[in-house]
Structure 1
């Protein structure tokens, strides 16, 4: 059901209008929502206003009249500051507000925020996403949601404006745990594709044609579909930066430690991503793991 302007739940505040947040805000506008945005970047706010949204000015202004507020921020410290800090979301929130954190943060951060939100009568969900910048632009994100089932249903219409796969995966924090699992798989696939390219080229085989075959068989993946051509061409324009994937692998390793399990492949991939960052590749797309594998073999 498309929201109507008469519906008081039709207004969404969004804090964080970066690579992911900006196109998400625009998809909410296209779905008929009134969107109020806030970001430390003035240019990002101007982009939202040009698309038909409103500038919140600050956190209080972004919450004013919004039935739902979304944060899409880089890491746990930023989310905690924006939500729990002085002048933050919970300081200005009215009881009944639906707060959705769509950032990728530590599961314990989500639980900490949900506990503080409940004390204020605010409903909190953790709903990290997968699909990268293209998924955010196309509105085809996968959204993994942790929290109360009734709150998930209350947020479903908002989620449907942003993604095509929306799954309630468990209680608060579960969304972040699933996202950690997602990121370890994504990192591992990138590393293996990088190794496949190095092997193919060193053997005198056309890597582009070789990956075309892999993409059509059991080795096929969404990453091969989207990235094999740019990887072979060594085009690493960031859709999702090495720096952010490095942060996410830290979350995955911490989650493994908390769960008491050993994830040896995850540890190896985390080290490769750390190496990429140490080599000055942090601002490149995570497919730039190929450069690390090439340097190992040079």
Structure 2
């Protein structure tokens, strides 16, 4: 298999590197060639454009920041892809967008596999991120070696569109957990507890969560640097609330959390790190949430 990988941000560059380490032939493209420096040093091939890449490889993987960017890239790649090629989309899209893009690809003889992931950039770097493919079972089987190279656990969620729902659910939960984690840490600090010890106690309790163990540590360090920004969080929460309206499910906590992120964007900008919703509380109460011994990045 010769894979082309388009979109070498925090997630994409790590996933492409995992493919290289597993022995796949990989050609890459990004608007910023510097993002590909480590990949090129490791043996990846460079394409001069998305269209150039699509014409050189067996299958194309994209990992892009927004549906609008996906549409632009797809317009360049589809005409150059060979009959029977697969387009593997790792970006977070709405279900309707997934189905519309799949129909567009089918018109060019290209099959689509949606592949959202969850777990964080630090797990992607280790090849241990969770993969949530959606699409035909034979496509999942065909690309299973690549999926297992990039990820640890692989859950085939069903037909196209199913994975977009579960991805939004997992992200929605993460953002809600982050808001709860921020409030819990502030309660501990204002209650006079040692924050490091409080973090350890929560981790060993029934109140623990993946977010507490990971992003909670970054809050206590003060870096907040989870490599995922506020604009992306708002995009995903918007998808969740849309599904809530469509399926008739009241999402009270998601709605409250979205408003917290709106306030964080107003305070710090959309490019700020998503755990900075904790800083809103720190600034409001003039109380920092710092403890020694916590990392500035997850590894």
Asked whether the 8 Å contact 2:54–2:81 carries over to 1, the reply is: yes
Shift of 1:297: 3.7
The 10-residue stretch of structure 1 (52-61 or 225-234) with the greater mean CA deviation from structure 2: 225-234
* Residues 106-185 of structure 1: pairs in structure 2 closer than 5 A: 106-185=94-173
Rounded Cα–Cα distance in structure 1 between residues aligned with 2:94 and 2:32: 25
The 10-residue stretch of structure 1 (228-237 or 134-143) with the greater mean CA deviation from structure 2: 228-237
Equivalent residue number for residue 4 of structure 2? 13
Asked whether the 8 Å contact 2:178–2:215 carries over to 1, the reply is: no
Rounded Cα–Cα distance in structure 1 between residues aligned with 2:56 and 2:216: 45
Is 1:41 the counterpart of 2:29 in the alignment?
no
- Structure-1-length-normalised TM-score: 0.92
Could you tell me which runs of 5 or more consecutive residues in structure 2 were left unpaired when the two chains were aligned. 287-299
Shift of 1:246: 1.5
Equivalent residue number for residue 235 of structure 1? 223
Shift of 1:211: 1.6
Equivalent residue number for residue 244 of structure 2? 256
Asked whether the 8 Å contact 1:208–1:229 carries over to 2, the reply is: no
- Structure 1 segments of 4 or more deviating over 4 A? none
Count of residue correspondences? 286
Tell me how large the CA RMSD over aligned residues is: 1.5
Shift of 1:242: 1.8
Q: Deviations over 1:12-45 (max 9, x none)?
A: 0001011111111111000000110011002113
Equivalent residue number for residue 31 of structure 1? 22
**2:70 aligned to 54, 79, 91, which one?**
79
Asked whether the 8 Å contact 1:102–1:129 carries over to 2, the reply is: yes
Q: Deviations over 1:136-170 (max 9, x none)?
A: 11111111111111111112111101111111112
Shift of 1:92: 1.1
**1:195 aligned to 175, 183, 194, which one?**
183
Shift of 1:11: 0.7
Equivalent residue number for residue 77 of structure 2? 89
- Structure-2-length-normalised TM-score: 0.91
Equivalent residue number for residue 226 of structure 1? 214
Shift of 1:95: 1.2
